[in-house]
Amino acid sequence: MMLPDFNRLRVFFHVHAAGSVSEAARELGVTQSAVSQSLAKLEAELGAPLFVRRHRRLVPTPAADELQRIVAPFVDGLREGVERIHRERHELVGELRLGAPVEFGSHRLPPALASFREHNPGVRFALTLGHPSEVVPLLEEGRLDVVFADRYEGDRAEHAGLEVLGVMEEALVMVAAPAYEARVLEGSRAFTRIQAASFVAYQARAPALRGWFRHHFGRGPGRLELALVVQSVPAVIEAVEHGLGLGLVPEHAVEDRLARGSLVRVRTRRRELTNQVALLRLLDKVPSRSERALVRHLLATVGA
């Protein structure tokens, strides 16, 4: 069975709520004749009478009351939804859906989001943590509004249809526990010796580690022995410090350990590899006022 015409349901809703054709016509801005015709057609569609006239007033039938119980929540929800959409276009309200790498989203973003919401309490956030290969497709599908992604030096792929704004850069250093370095590398920084070590990686495909080899040696490694795969910088640091293998981490995250000697650098003659954290948005999407304000805030605070 086909659904009734939605315009007729709208007319019915106003007639049932007002109890009067003339009052419903006034609210809808149409003639009484148009309202009466719409009701008659709806009754024909349903095959049931909806109102009876008594003492110059319309009295709903049981079928009308049942239909109103269905239609009223829909109309109310539609009205609220339209008002919310309008507010989100013109006011700093609504939910913003963000995506970010685990470490960046866990430590860098929360303070910035808190400072933004302190002045804009009507804005809410939904944060999805994951590798760029996981969150960028969600952005492209329209399921996220703003995404932060790691873009390693020498491997910064172009993102068609996306706006890419650099937020911050960080040096990435290969580190090892002193005992592990002495036992496995024995002071050597040769490609073959380092490649033969065990590693702690963020992903099974180890794109960051492979980028490090390409940057320092001009070629990627073959098969890498991954002793542990974990999407957490602190977990990588702890595992490396306990001798599980080599790990590539942000320099600022291990400065204290390098200073006290619980970790050592595995460095070559080349400068350290850098990672750019970039903010990505859809180019053809018209952002809400809240999104525009948040992006300005994040660009000013996160990389500062």
- Residue indicated by tokens 């609220």: 80
What topology does CATH give the domain 170-273? D-Maltodextrin-Binding Protein; domain 2 (3.40.190)
What topology does CATH give the domain 6-90? Arc Repressor Mutant, subunit A (1.10.10)
Asked whether the domain spanning 170-273 has the same topology as the one spanning 94-169+276-301, the reply is: yes
Beta partners for 127? 98
Mean pLDDT of 263-284: 93
Mean residue pLDDT across the chain: 90
Query: Mind giving me the DSSP string for 179-204?
Result: HHIIIIITT---HHHHHTSEEEESST
Q: What is the pLDDT of residue 18?
A: 87
Residue 154, pLDDT above cutoff 60: no
Mean pLDDT of 117-136: 93
- Per-residue buried b or exposed e for 105-121, using 16+ beta carbons within 10 Å of the residue's own CB: beebbeebbeebbeeee
Q: What is the pLDDT of residue 126?
A: 98
* Dist CA 103 CA 223 (whole Å): 26
Residue 1, pLDDT above cutoff 70: no
Residue 304, pLDDT above cutoff 80: no
Going from N- to C-terminal start, the domains of the chain cover 6-90, 94-169+276-301, 170-273
Residue 303, pLDDT above cutoff 60: yes
Q: How confident is the model at residue 173 (pLDDT cuts 50, 70, 90)?
A: very high
Between residues 161 and 294, which one has the greater pLDDT?
A: 294
pLDDT tens column, 73-125? 988 888 888 877 776 666 788 899 999 988 889 888 999 999 999 999 999 99
Q: What is the pLDDT of residue 272?
A: 94
* Dist CA 253 CA 103 (whole Å): 11
pLDDT tens column, 60-85? 899 999 999 998 998 888 888 887 77
Q: pTM for this structure?
A: 0.65
**Domain 94-169+276-301 in CATH: superfamily?**
Periplasmic binding protein-like II (3.40.190.10)
Mean pLDDT of 152-170: 77
Strands 225-229, 198-201: pairing is: parallel
- Per-residue buried b or exposed e for 255-290, using 16+ beta carbons within 10 Å of the residue's own CB: eebeeeebbbebebeeebbebbbbbbbbeeeebbeb
Closest-CA residue to 199 (of 170, 172, 236): 236
Closest-CA residue to 27 (of 37, 17, 36, 42): 17
Residue 215, pLDDT above cutoff 90: yes
pLDDT tens column, 220-261? 999 999 999 998 899 999 999 999 999 999 998 999 999 999
Do residues 144 and 137 lie in contact, with contact meaning Cβ atoms separated by under 8 Å? no
Q: What is the pLDDT of residue 156?
A: 54
The amino acid occupying position 230 is: V
Q: How confident is the model at residue 286 (pLDDT cuts 50, 70, 90)?
A: confident
pLDDT tens column, 33-55? 999 899 889 888 888 898 888 87
72: which residues sit within 8 A by CB, 6+ positions away?
Answer: 13, 17
